[in-house]
Structure 1
Amino acid sequence: MTPVRRVEGVAVALRRDNVDTDQLLPARFLKVPRQQGYGGFLLHDLRHDAEGRPVDGMPLNDPAHAGAKVLVARRAFGVGSSREAAVYALVDFGIGAVVAASFGDIFAANAANNGLITAEVAEADIEVLLAAVATEGTAVVDLESCTVTSGRLTAPFTIDPVRRTKLLNGWDDLDLTLSHHDAVTAFVAADRIARPWAQEIPEVSGR
């Protein structure tokens, strides 16, 4: 995974609470092979009416938001089922960071494993940030300083420190474990001395 330190570019203000994973990627699209990409299905049923026509006023349908990199929403973004494909839809669409007042925990974990920043902004700031993004049309999400900026507005955000470390280094869960190699090796060596009786007993040949 490529390290992520900063995401900047076109930003979209999605003034919605409780955007769940079934909205992000409706279940019927899960049968599509991953290699075909899920970006075209992102928020499909919110972006289209029952006849499949684009919904007027839906921010992601606005040509001005083409190539969006940052999505700003309200509370409880990514709640619902644990489907990782909801993250795939955002990443395949081109979104590199989602800013919201809160996130579904499993969604945030899946996001970190796929290079997507989940920046949690205080509710006191989120409406101001939504307004700024709607006016400016761009935003910068800086993972090193943990700030999101749009125009003259800069707001701090929080993110789980382990997920932040993984994103900054481009690590998956295995890489994270390997980063503790020296500590694990030292523990094993000390444990062999402290608990020799707990070590594996070699098989005796001929038995």
Structure 2
Amino acid sequence: MTDAGRIEGIAATLVTANLDTDQIMPKQFLRGIDKRGLDKGLLWDLRFDAEGRPRPGFVLNQPAFAETRILIAGPNFGCGSSREHAVWGLQQYGIEAVIASSFGEIFYSNAMNNRLLAVMLPQADVQVLMKEADESADPLRVEIDVQSLTVRTPRNTRSFVLSERHRRMFLDGLDMIGASLTYQRAIDAFAKRHWAEQPWLRDVALRTRQRLDKEAHG
């Protein structure tokens, strides 16, 4: 369940460190011209064997985890290539947040720009949550509150840090462009002041091209 500032649901653990974007979304699922259907390829080699049969031991293939909304993952999650499809595939599968001690830098930016919440906790705290999940008789339920920047489980509460920019983007439902446009007045004022002070810089490329075209045909 998700509201403006909270994600709550079943959490599954993926203990593998350095789970890269090639594993999260293999290359054979990048052939389409739109974003649809990427959930089918998510973690393909972990979910299925060489014949395409589901691996029963993999957590997301177990019926109890069919409604997983949160992943508790190993360090350096999302390293590797910059494919944004990894984020889209996670979201299409129903994943709304990933908790890990660290993320690949580009994956983290892609995730936050698409409103897939990437929560960084110290590795010791991640291991505490994984241990609680292992010891729970039922799938662990986790609540992530972006207003208070806390992760809560039945036995634990942990605080995390999020930049104010990313926090506001998540709470207000904005991507990077939308967040930038909240400064539209300041942008317009800067542009007006800039051109007033340095008018000779305005449309330099256009005016140069026009001059060259005139000389070429003159």
- Tell me whether the two structures share a fold, i.e. TM-score over 0.5: yes
Question: Are 2:180 and 1:159 aligned?
Answer: no
Contact 1:120 1:158 in 2 (8 A): yes
SS in 2 for 1:129: helix
Q: Deviations over 1:82-134 (max 9, x none)?
A: 00101111000000000001001111111122220000111121100112233
Aligned twin of 2:178: 175
> How far off its partner does 1:44 sit?
0.9
CA distance 1:194–1:84, change in 2 (3 Å):
same
Aligned twin of 2:121: 121
- Residue 170 of structure 1 aligns with an amino acid whose one-letter code is G
- Residue 157 of structure 1 aligns with an amino acid whose one-letter code is F
Aligned twin of 1:26: 26
Aligned twin of 2:91: 91
Q: Deviations over 1:16-38 (max 9, x none)?
A: 11111011111111114535421
Contact 1:76 1:103 in 2 (8 A): yes
* Separation (CA, whole Å) in 2 of partners of 1:83 and 1:199: 36
Match of 1:187 among 174, 187, 190: 190
Aligned twin of 1:141: 144
Question: Are 2:130 and 1:130 aligned?
Answer: yes
- Residue 118 of structure 2 aligns with an amino acid whose one-letter code is T
Deviates most, 10-19 or 32-41: 32-41
- Residue 53 of structure 2 aligns with an amino acid whose one-letter code is R
Aligned twin of 1:105: 105
- Residue 83 of structure 1 aligns with an amino acid whose one-letter code is R
The alignment's TM-score, normalised by the length of structure 2, stands at 0.83
CA distance 1:197–1:26, change in 2 (3 Å):
closer
Deviates most, 61-70 or 130-139: 130-139
Contact 1:75 1:102 in 2 (8 A): yes
> How far off its partner does 1:10 sit?
1.0
Aligned residue pairs: how many?
A: 202
The alignment's TM-score, normalised by the length of structure 1, stands at 0.87
Q: Deviations over 1:40-92 (max 9, x none)?
A: 22111011122222223211111111111101112000000100101111000
5+ residue gaps, structure 1: none
* Separation (CA, whole Å) in 2 of partners of 1:99 and 1:17: 13
Q: Deviations over 1:124-165 (max 9, x none)?
A: 211001122332521111112111111120111223433322
Deviates most, 105-114 or 127-136: 127-136
SS in 1 for 2:118: strand
Q: Percent identity, aligned pairs only? A: 40
Contact 1:3 1:168 in 2 (8 A): no
SS in 2 for 1:31: coil
Aligned twin of 2:210: none
> How far off its partner does 1:188 sit?
2.8
SS in 1 for 2:98: strand
* Separation (CA, whole Å) in 2 of partners of 1:189 and 1:97: 41
5+ residue gaps, structure 2: 208-213
- Residue 176 of structure 1 aligns with an amino acid whose one-letter code is A
* Separation (CA, whole Å) in 2 of partners of 1:181 and 1:35: 30
Contact 1:78 1:107 in 2 (8 A): yes
Contact 1:6 1:142 in 2 (8 A): yes
